A and B are shown apart, each in its own frame.
Chain A
Amino acid sequence: MHEWSIAYSVVKTLTENFNKKISKVTLVIPLFSFLDIEILKEAFNELKKENPIVENAELEVKIQEPTFRCRNCNREFKFSDIQQQVGEVKNSYGEEYPLHLMPELLPAFIKCPYCGSHDIEAIGQEIYIEKVEEYGAVERVS
């Protein structure tokens, strides 16, 4: 259900920042949030009807696999290295687990697989609009 908030935020951002009709928007979401893409698109398609700027826009969703760096031991690691930890968090919290609701909480739940520190930097943990294409205009990249 949280996907509706994100869809709403995308529609809101587009309608506030663009004047021309939009044909396509590319949204990037982090893999470990495990957002349901179908619900996200369904919500977007429902909410876009409210404003002519976005009513014909197609939502493309890119899932980004973030990379991580521990600021304590300076080693880099990938999602596959912490997959088990994420799985444990998902199991203990169920569907609305904290990293689904708030990806920025990641360092509170995940430890560096090498030294155990929580001082983790994630590159690509944000939800952001990567690209917006307008009808008859040059595309804008944020």
Chain B
Amino acid sequence: MEPLRELAKEKLKDKKVIAIMSAKGGVGKSVISALISLSLPSDVTLIDLDIHTMAIAKLFGVENVPLEVSKEGIEPVKIRNVNLISLAGIVRDRYVILPGRNQSNVMKELIAYSSIKGKYVVFDLPPGLGDEILVLEELSDFKPIVVTTPSKVSLKVVKYLLDYLNERKKKALVVVNMSYFTCNDQRVNLFGNYNGDVNLPIDPNLEDYIGKIQEYEGEVKKVIEKELIPQFM
């Protein structure tokens, strides 16, 4: 018997679980995870499952904040409506190299031993088709949000993920990040045309908010609030 798995499942029971995923790296999953979490109408727990880069902690500027532990488990760092759980709070500023077989168990431990708050749980997954998706399927009936850019390479790889999700009868929402740039009120598709369920603009100002993403109220967040959030509420 695996008490760890039971506990992880229990922690996600009765929650609305949203998984931000992509088969391709560098498409902006972590930024979108952060902005979706900040756009939700109530408290949310955002769990960074990308244990190697821990980008979420960097986006919110809390990479060196150690997590507290209470009777309920590892306590998240609260920023606005977002309760942040990241391995960064446990290992702090150190590399994490792990054999594949350990990765899925670390993910289960992170979920099982965390104090999960609020109605929503958002997972920021690492790129690829691996343990992370299989573990999440074991633990919850999640809503997949698949992130891509309009580039042909990204679309090709992301198709594999969509094929897999289709086979599993999971309806994914496709978010095309860095889809267009607005210049003189005209949309310019810099990297090609591809229409997803939601297309997000390029906002060069977003870069200034790395480390304080909670303060960003620009165009990308506005589109997420208006077009993406209502689709899975």
Contact = CB atoms under 8 A, between A and B. Distances in A.
Interface string A1-17: 11011101110110011
Given A101-B69, A101-B90, A105-B96, A2 B6 contact: no
B74 A101 contact: yes
B91 A71 contact: no
A31 B81 CA distance: 38
Interface residues of B, number: 31
Contact of A2 (B10, B66, B73, B99): B73
Contacts of B74: 2, 101
A17 B109 CA distance: 20
Given A71-B99, A104-B105, A120-B99, A127 B90 contact: no
A119 interface: yes
Interface in B68-117: 69-74, 90-92, 94-99, 101-102, 105-106, 109-110, 112-113
A108 interface: yes
A25 to B, nearest CB: 10
Judged by DSSP, the binding face of A is helix
Interface in B109-145: 109-110, 112-113
A108 B109 CA distance: 15
A5 B112 contact: yes
Interface in B133-166: none
A1 B74 CA distance: 9
7 contacts: A2-B69, A12-B3, A13-B1, A107-B102, A121-B99, A121-B101, A129-B1
